[in-house]
Chains A and B, each alone.
Chain A
Amino acid sequence: MIPVDGLTLALLIPLPVLAYVTWALPDVAPTSLSFGVRVPPSEQEAPGLREIRRSYRRNWLAVSLGLLAPVLLLFLLAARPENLLWLELAVVPYFLVYFAAHRRVRELKRAKRWAPSAQAIAVVAVGDPDPDDGMMLGAIAPIAVLLATLIVGILRYAGAPALLPVHFGPSGTPDSYAPKSLDVFFIPVEISAFVTALLLGLTYLVLRAPVRLDPSSPEQAALRSHVFRQRMSAGLFGLGAVVNLVLLIEGLAVWGLVTPGPTFVAVPLILLLGYSASFAFVAVRTGQMGSRVAVGEVAPPLASRIPRDDDRYWRAGVFYYNPEDPALFVPKRVGVGWTLNFARPVAWVIILLPPLFGIGLSLAIHRW
């Protein structure tokens, strides 16, 4: 067997993270949802839904052991880091397992006709119009790393070699050089500034996205969603800080302050993937909109109040298209966080922006 280096190991991290997140899917959902289908919270422990959850976990186990283990072994034996990118396809079998459960819950719901007399309620807290003031303070972390990169760059500019390495191969050795100019020299700082601006904008939007409180216990839901937003904004700013740190390391290599090698390629990847894995762990433990955060018994839940049945706007329980909903971001039904309302044209702009930016960036780099 070929010795496994840090890079290969780093590229393997997403797989256990994916397995962990998909295993936890039924646990992170709020009580009014089961596999992306609205159900009355009082029915969560009904035998039908329990059986669907059990069978989801059985199928999960079958996918994890039967499909992924051999694939993993194969990739390890033929360890070429580039090949490992194919592991992203592992999302497909896990999605199919989820989708089977989603369909079974939908059928069960049709057969049972749950809670026909309950009120279909939406709730909003009105006492505190700006509940998330102060959470943007976390922006200090990515901005501090960005400033550090800028300062190192400015101090180094005069002493840097005349020919700068601008691209590195898989083993970390430079394979492309460019003559020193302000433009080329400060590329890491420019990307870092762009990433910081992007994450700041995203966090700003996330903090203003609706949380859609559970009407059966709005007090608990409001307290939980507050904790959820705190952790989400902190997590996004932390991500910004880690990405900027990676760009600082790249900068050090471009500016001739460190000599790139295999470790140089592995460290940023381990940083990024390690951070994403911990973020996923915290997200799962927090639950969607804080559904797993203990806030104590504020008031007993009211079984007669359930959220409006909006199943028809959710394709496969995952994609949201509702022209009557004014919100651009809405809480996801499966997993943790928010998703876009694709009936808003801005949603498509947001979806298409990152790929367009990626293409633009690679064109710009090739020009140099």
Chain B
Amino acid sequence: MIGSRPRQRPSKSVRSPGPFLHVDFRSTRPLYLQLCDGVVAAIGGGALQPGTPLPSLRRLSEELGVNFHTVHRAYDVLRQDGFLFVDRRQRFIVQTPPSSTEWTQRSWDAAQRRLLTEGLARGIGGPELTRRIRNLLRELTSPTPGGGGVAK
């Protein structure tokens, strides 16, 4: 019996479920930051278009089984960073952040610097780093099914 599942014909009236966010409970990265990473990755990869409303705080926290405040914190950070705005119906809407201000550029540069220096410290040379960055960029900008939050 087990081997025979599934048995039914595919249903026709289904929509594409859209991009997915994941959180990894075994990861050391805080859950709210994992959620932020996922939303930013989905916006960057084009899976979440500007103007798309995100699920409500309640739905996201119930579906993931994480605390309401964790999701709220993630949405709030994303709002402060300019990736989301709150509309009149209190929904969180995706937007392209207003083009990089001096502050966001500085903090982005700092994050970049932190990652690259760690790579160098681990003995990954310059050409290898460049190759990896190029590959990663290609992977992130090509739309793959389920390509969204990569929580690691």
Which A residues fall within an 8 A CB radius of B?
24, 26-27, 44-45, 50, 53, 119-129, 131, 208-213, 215, 218-219, 222-223, 226-227, 230, 285-287, 291-296, 298-299, 305, 308, 310, 322, 324-327, 330
Q: Which residues of chain A come closer than 8 Å to B58, judged between CB atoms?
A: 326
- Distance of A281 from chain B, by nearest CB (Å): 13
Provide the bound-state CA to CA distance between A324 and B13, in Å. 35
- Do A294 and B24 touch (CB < 8 A)? no
Which listed residue, B5, B64, B65, B66, touches A291 by the CB 8 Å rule? Answer: B5
Complex partner residue of A218 from B6, B10, B24, B146, CB under 8 angstroms: B146
Whether a CB of chain A sits under 8 angstroms from the CB of B55 is yes
Nearest B residue to A117, CB-CB = B26
Q: Residue B36 at the A interface, CB < 8 A?
A: no
Q: Which residues of B contact A330 (CB under 8 A)?
A: 65
Q: Which 8 residue pairs across A and B have the least CB separation, nearest first?
A: A127-B18, A222-B17, A327-B62, A124-B63, A120-B25, A122-B64, A125-B17, A294-B6
B26 touches A120 (CB 8 A): yes
- Check if B1 is an interface residue, CB within 8 A of chain A: yes
**Stretch of B46-54, B99-107, B108-116, B117-125 with 4 or more beta carbons under 8 angstroms from chain A:** B46-54
A-B contact pairs, 22 of them (CB 8 A): A27-B2, A44-B2, A123-B21, A124-B60, A124-B64, A125-B17, A126-B19, A126-B148, A127-B16, A131-B17, A209-B62, A210-B65, A211-B63, A212-B65, A218-B146, A219-B145, A286-B8, A287-B5, A293-B8, A294-B7, A299-B145, A326-B67
Which residues 46-93 of B have a CB within 8 angstroms of A? 47-48, 52-56, 58-68, 91
**A325 CA to B66 CA in the complex, in Å?**
6
B interface size (C-beta, 8 A): 49
- A292 in contact with B22 given A119-B27, A210-B62 (CB within 8 Å): no
Interface contact A121-B9, CB-CB below 8 Å: no
Report whether A129 and B25 are in contact in the complex, using a CB–CB cutoff of 8 Å. Answer: no
Contacts of A209 in B (CB 8 A): 62
CB neighbours (8 Å) of A131 from chain B are 15, 17
Question: Within the complex, which residue of B7, B53, B62, B148 is in contact with A326, where a contact is CB–CB below 8 Å?
Answer: B62
Known A227-B14, A299-B146; contact A125-B8, beta-carbon cutoff 8 A:
no
B11 proximal to A (CB < 8 A): yes
Contact, CB under 8 Å: A210 / B17: no
CB-contact partner of B55 in A120, A126, A230, A310, under 8 A = A126
Known: A125-B17, A285-B7. 12 other contacts (CB 8 A): A120-B26, A122-B23, A124-B59, A126-B18, A126-B60, A127-B47, A218-B22, A294-B7, A295-B14, A325-B65, A326-B67, A327-B65
